[in-house]
Amino acid sequence: MIAAALALFLSQGDPAFEAVAAALGERRLGEAYELLGSIADPALAARAEADLWYFARDFGASLAAAERGLLVAPDDLFLLHRAASAALWLRDAQRATLHAAHLGSALAAAELSPEERAWWTGAGDDLAASADELSAAAEERERLHRRARATALAALAGSVLALGALARSPGAHG
């Protein structure tokens, strides 16, 4: 529903894109895939492809398509939204944060109606919050990993010292 609304909002009246968006809206993914090649505009083609892979739950392909589109349209709100969303699904905190932040800055410069701005602001804020949570969780996991590694190394060192002490004790050589 959100993607279909976004696709219609950002379609710019391209008939080939509209056909793909309609197929995606009805979850006819095979048909949408077949129609992708008919979209001449690279940014629109990237939007459609990113959406297709997102609906197909191939978030890596969705992110790749969105990022390819961002090379030609770096401030494209839809591509930034899709890139951040796919990165979140992939648990890629760095890329999710990057794309969510870029969405916020692109949104500030975008010419939108008050209703569109409100929707995009809410969506961007949600993505940024999720990216922040993912980043915080990744930092916490890394901190715990370092702590566990230090504890394991300390236990290993203690064991080595204890074995060395046993080897040097007078009764150890029998």
Helix (H) or strand (E) holding 137: helix 114-168
pLDDT > 70 fraction of the chain, expressed in percent and rounded: 91
> Residue 162 has what pLDDT?
86
Could you tell me the residue range of the domain that residue 70 belongs to?
2-173
- For residue 90, give both structure tokens: 């992939």
Residue 9 pLDDT greater than 60, yes or no:
no
Distance (Å, whole) CA 10 – CA 122: 17
pTM for the structure as a whole: 0.74
Per-residue pLDDT tens for 38-80? 999 999 999 999 999 999 999 999 999 999 999 999 999 999 9
pLDDT > 90 fraction of the chain, expressed in percent and rounded: 68
Distances in whole angstroms, Cα of residue 126 to Cα of each of 119, 120, 122, 131, 144: 11, 10, 6, 9, 27
Confidence class for position 1, pLDDT limits 50, 70, 90: very low
Number of domains in the chain: 1
> Residue 8 has what pLDDT?
46
For residue 68, give the CATH number of its domain: 1.25.40.10
